[in-house]
Structure 1
């Protein structure tokens, strides 16, 4: 699919409605994501006829390739214009989901989920580049917080749609869910196409040199690695904690759903407020550091939930979940600001694509690592995991200072106080 070149016009004063347009697009495609997440495994097993092992292997391979593809697709967004790239990649995601309707063999499954993962990872990078062009630097983290809240709301609605399909448990119901997801991404493409165009920032020459820039930026790679470690919180709430509750605590089974609802609801209600004070690199580093402390505290609280009476275990688990989501929101806000501020001008797409690799890597590595630590290691495993969060958060400051020395003078600053950087903190 060819990408239209953006007109040679900078959007120095983007429309006030651009953040609302981005949030609406996020809400729409998240409805499809939520429905897909809760039903895809059963669709692949009961309708397509695949074993759980083959499904897991295929998805792992697909997300691994998608993670790698995010960098060149982000670079393409820089070179050709982020609005055109986001529209094309949202449309490609819609087509790939529609392709799942026709999958009836493992080979077809691999091809389609590979296309889906590549389009999704590329869309994430291109959308970040588009946001950077449409939103003033000091407002980007706040806008991302609103997008996160909108995304969680959409996922909650989509999960409700998926729950209906799970209740019906028929091929037609699962196919309808895939149709909803495909239509949601098509709608997302339409909404993104209505946003103002942003001038392509990659320049006209030195394409090979520019495309490899982020891959040679070792300080930024270290920042990305530390962020990936902290993103292990994702499979913690969705996989490791439910298994811990089921196997090591006396808490009622419904507590798993309750904690997931608490996490989603807290992000919807408080992510924007939590991110409001993060306007520059110094504040971003403090936010990530405090996120590491809070996630260590949550792990320590979860660790003592085993062996308690049912009601006591539930109270302790809720306390740990509150600490975890608070740390999650602090870490997310800081990470967004850091990723934007350390990316050189005109290269947001490839840098955001590289930084975004942390999400699929955490999803691939996290389940094995966390189940080994938490389920196999018990209290000690929880404390080791919390120590990883704490260490990654503490190391982010020195890593960002090193990366800032590399990019100072070349990257735009998103700080609320332009005269102060992390180097002066």
Structure 2
């Protein structure tokens, strides 16, 4: 019976009925899912028109005679390359989604803190319009922002080159309409070479993410902390000299300063309040990892920083100048090998290298003028791949 309904003659005899049944089931399922996710906004008496109107006010499309800055001019909806100190639209939405309108209204029209007060000067919006903004933000908290659509430029170019190659081959073998045979040959070789270059380039980029700078749950600026305030890297990254990882600072460590400092010059109170809330509720901040290596690669900060005495900037760049932390170096195998070949080690005064007696004698006798990491086995395959 099961075979009859799922894989046998019934599907063959009733394909239209079966397809319609699947379509109706999918439609009902998607409708239920939408109703569940929309429950807190639409089922509370708000219409989709309210959400759309609130979105227009947030983006500054309404009112037409607006004399104040739009919400989106400060509270961005999409990730930006430079640090926007103001909370994003999603941050605001998540903060007020479970709060009533009066709390939201008080925060917008009667803000606390110097930064927010300065930003909301002359901000004048009617109560009804502000309510639709709250509805829009509540909807945003449940559904999120629209995902960025992927681009297919390289794929389109690759397919176009494939068409050129196909045409050139057909012309050379079958059509033979072009008298000057050099033209399709040049097109064939050029398009094929371009395709090969695209494949090689993308293959080399696999698992590499130079300049990767993801959005973080808290807008933490290394420029402010390490640069302007001169905080040493090892004060926060406490395991960098003894551990494989440099370590992510615990929220309690942040509170060593922020138990007093509750408002930032640039960020106001909003971002620091996230740190305070995490510390008070015992909920760790879920930072997004920036520097990633393939699983088959072993790397230890203890060896490089603790034993090798490398400076953090040698791999991570001028962190003290970065508002948004990014991956400075490509961290490829070639990059590591070249670094080992070029980086000198203090083999005479560093106890970590005391067993390299032969290299020490060569330095003392003048047989060599320097010792690099490569000379003491850093490029041995088993050091990183074991």
- TM-score bracket for the superposition, by shorter chain length: under 0.3
Query: How does the TM-score come out when normalised to structure 1?
Result: 0.22
Q: Which has the higher contact order (CA 8 A, sep 6+)?
A: 1
Q: Which one has the bigger helix percentage? A: 1
